[in-house]
Amino acid sequence: MSKNKRVLSGMQPSGKPHLGNYLGAMKPHIELQENHECFYFLANYHALTTVRDKDKLAEMTTGLALDYLALGLDPEKTAFFRQSDIPEVTELTWIISTVTPFGLLERAHAWKDSIAKGTKNPTVGLFSYPVLMAADILIYDSELVPVGRDQKQHIEIARDIATTFNHTYGETFIVPEDLIKKEVETILGTDGIHKMSKSYSNTVEIFAPEEDLRKQVMSMVTDPARVRRDDPGNPDVCNVFTLHKIFNSEKNIAEINKNCRNASLGCVDCKKQILESIMEELKAARKKRIELENNLDYIEEVLRRGATRAREVATKTLDRVRNSVGL
Ligand code: SF4
């Protein structure tokens, strides 16, 4: 484990977080603060490529800050800030865009996917999104960037840009490395088919009111071959069981596995049990989020302090860059 290396991550405000977000990104990000110097920002510049409503953007950005703080992000350990509070990053975006080959961005998976999906009138912002991402990484002298295996390309682009820049103008940037996140089980949505995602409307929202959360969990599709209550089930093909494996003890998992297969446990009861485990896991965070919602001045203060800390690093890097290129 690389102790005290600087870790950078940006989270794009996109609405209500769900179990997939929590297990795949939020929880592991927050755990990193124990052994690393973390710089985490709310990526509201990036969100502008999709959100065109100023009130919604502001609300979602604050909402994401509340989510992370409620889940345990410690602003004393982690520099936590809004991307747009460090405008230096946009100047750096321009400067590094002048050494970024057009073809590099054309090969970006996210760009290719959005064109393949038929995005109407794609914008320059969408195309140059990875340059802003690279600027975010480089401006904070980041050493590690946590990503899933499927997002490795983001870091490769930032590394390519940093290396080209250093080669052209002399050593200026730290070339970042990826920190591949521990593989977690893919969390399927309530439909039991697709990965949990807002775009499939199959989410279990971690901060939803209790009754809504209950309905979402109880609507989960289980083993499709188990039609009647006394049919034996197969936990290996059941998404509810995947969640039990994450949230439950070894002993309970073995019990559920056995009782599903011999049909002594019904799906309704099995879902009630997982609901209880999820609620237990999230109990403290859900309570804290409500408290924080009533203390938005504190949120502003946290983000302001985080921005001051981040800006100190950003201005130094930008000075170095300006000096390197002759501005
Ligand atoms: S009993 Fe539980 S693990 Fe078995 S099929 Fe039903 S929900 Fe899935």
pLDDT at 1: 47
Give Dmax (Cα) for the chain. 76
> What's the rounded Cα separation, in Å, for the pair 317 and 327?
13
Percent of the chain residues topping a pLDDT of 90: 88
- The pLDDT confidence band at residue 14, using thresholds 50, 70 and 90, is confident
Distances (CA, A) of 69 to 73, 79, 84, 289, 303: 5, 12, 19, 8, 11
Q: How far is the CA of 251 from the centre of ligand 1 (A)?
A: 16
pLDDT at 184: 67
- The pLDDT confidence band at residue 127, using thresholds 50, 70 and 90, is very high
Strand, helix or coil for residue 35: coil
The response to whether residue 178 sits with its C-beta less than 6 Å from ligand 1 reads no
Q: How far is the CA of 244 from the centre of ligand 1 (A)?
A: 10
For domain 198-289, the CATH architecture is Orthogonal Bundle (1.10)
Q: How far is the CA of 148 from the centre of ligand 1 (A)?
A: 29
The response to whether residue 238 sits with its C-beta less than 6 Å from ligand 1 reads yes
Least confident of 26-30, 43-47, 118-122, 241-245: 118-122
Q: How far is the CA of 89 from the centre of ligand 1 (A)?
A: 49
The response to whether residue 240 sits with its C-beta less than 6 Å from ligand 1 reads yes
Contact partners, residue 77, CB within 8 Å, separation at least 6: 33, 34, 38
Distance of CA 303 to the CA centre of its chain: 18
Mean pLDDT of the 32-52 span: 95
- Calculate the average pLDDT of the chain: 94
- CATH class for the region spanning 6-186+295-325: alpha beta
Mean pLDDT of the 29-34 span: 95
Q: Per residue in 226-237, is it b (16+ CB within 10 Å) or e — as a string?
A: beeeeeebbbee
Q: Where are the domains of the chain?
A: 6-186+295-325, 198-289
Side chain identity, residue 162: A
Strands (E), the chain: 6-11, 37-42, 79-82, 144-147, 177-180
Residue 3 predicted with pLDDT over 70: no
Mean pLDDT of the 9-23 span: 93
